[in-house]
Amino acid sequence: FFMLDSGHTNVSTLVANWNLSTHILKGNVTEMPVYNRRIRIISLTVIFAIALVGNSTVLHKICCGKSKKRKIDFLITNLALADVCVSVMTLLSQIIWEVLEDEWLAGDLACRVFKIFQVFGLIASSNIIAIIALERHHVIVHPLESPLPAKLLASLGWLAALLLSIPQAFVFKVIQAKDKAKCLSVFANLPTWHFQVYIIYGSITAFFLPFCILCVAYTRILWTIWRKEQPVEIGYEESRCADPKYLRRPVKITATNSSIPRAKIKTLKMTLVIIILFIICGLPYFIIEMKVAFGSSTHLDEVVTAVLGIFVVTNSAVNPYVYLFFKTNNVLLRKLLAYPWRKVEQSAGATTTPAFAARSAQSSPY
């Protein structure tokens, strides 16, 4: 996942940046079919446009809006900036490189710097998502304590992303291949274990470390919410007068019966969706990458990795629209995103028999 080598048949390297197939490890350089290159350019251009428009809209809404700025807004701003870096430094640069058919026109220093910044945005986005989870964890689990220093944490996240991207400068260099210069990795002339160590390093820093932070933080958040929302026991005399159907009703996290304010619940839902998308987009890809690095690579592995690799950068394109869904009054956007679920509910309701519907209405406590 740390590299974009043009000389192998794994399409995902052109959208995920850190992959290296066994073809390069063996020193074999093969050209991709022309139609594959066209598909890659079109796919990357579409994702780039969606990501740039969405993140620019989020930045404009937060920075130019008149509403009071909160810590979560500051962190979402940093996430949008990180996703813009992914759009420009990773996607746009890769589109240009694809149009040039992988030929590197700049010098060796530019090649190394180019690779650093291609990975920088991806790590920064992962770090900011982990920081958002830590901030929500602190707000829910320790509501009476002093808030976390969001600006300091965000600065550390950006600095860590830059430092963790520096190894790219030692992995890539300009290599002459078929009478033209290319910016390729150095693993072709090294033992396989060098590549395996590098894959482990890239997987941990870009995904698995933030993934562990997210799992721990949101496990504690959900446990805290579950404990706060437990029903209160009532006395014997009160229980005799109470209606059993009300006592057995499940507790919902809403503003009317929750000890957590509505605004916190809404923000928690938004950040939870962002985190779930981060896991869905990254986890399958990194699992298959580890499999390929430490096992044999088949054609099916390359196809699967090519598909999953697209989702890694797609995460930066969907993040801003999650924020817009939860934080704006854009009725059109909310209707557009809710339309598939509404059709499912209508289909399910159409299959309900009149007698069953009547019994449900009579037994409903609402």
Domains of the chain: 13-330 (1.20.1070.10)
pLDDT-derived band of residue 334, with 50, 70 and 90 as boundaries?
A: low
pLDDT at 10: 35
pLDDT at 186: 86
Which tens digit of pLDDT belongs to each residue from 209-237? 999 999 999 999 988 888 876 654 445 44
Top mean pLDDT of 13-17, 43-47, 307-311 is at: 43-47
pLDDT at 93: 87
pLDDT at 259: 55
> Can you tell me the distance from the alpha carbon of 250 to that of 227, in angstroms, rounded to the nearest whole number?
14
> Can you tell me the distance from the alpha carbon of 191 to that of 193, in angstroms, rounded to the nearest whole number?
6
The fraction of the chain above a pLDDT of 90, given in percent, is: 29
Tell me the pLDDT of the chain averaged across its residues.
75
pLDDT-derived band of residue 346, with 50, 70 and 90 as boundaries?
A: low
Which tens digit of pLDDT belongs to each residue from 51-69? 999 999 999 989 887 777 7
Which tens digit of pLDDT belongs to each residue from 277-294? 999 888 888 888 888 888
Pairing of strands 180-185, 172-177: antiparallel
Which segments within the chain are labelled E, that is strand? 172-177, 180-185
Which tens digit of pLDDT belongs to each residue from 98-146? 888 878 888 899 999 999 998 999 999 999 999 999 999 998 888 888 8
The pTM score is: 0.74
Which tens digit of pLDDT belongs to each residue from 259-274? 566 667 778 888 889 8
Hunting for tokens 């997987």 — which residue is that?
203
Tell me what the mean pLDDT of segment 28-39 comes to.
54
Q: Is 108 helix (H, G, I), strand (E, B) or coil?
A: helix
Residues 6+ apart with CB under 8 A from 236: none
Question: In the chain, what is the greatest distance between 2 CA atoms, to the nearest angstrom?
Answer: 91
pLDDT at 71: 86
Tell me what the mean pLDDT of segment 292-312 comes to.
73
Query: Is 70 exceeded by the pLDDT of residue 5?
Result: no
Per the DSSP assignment, residues forming a β-bridge with 180 are 177
Query: Is 90 exceeded by the pLDDT of residue 301?
Result: no
Query: Is 60 exceeded by the pLDDT of residue 238?
Result: no
Q: Is 103 helix (H, G, I), strand (E, B) or coil?
A: coil
> Can you tell me the distance from the alpha carbon of 267 to that of 294, in angstroms, rounded to the nearest whole number?
40
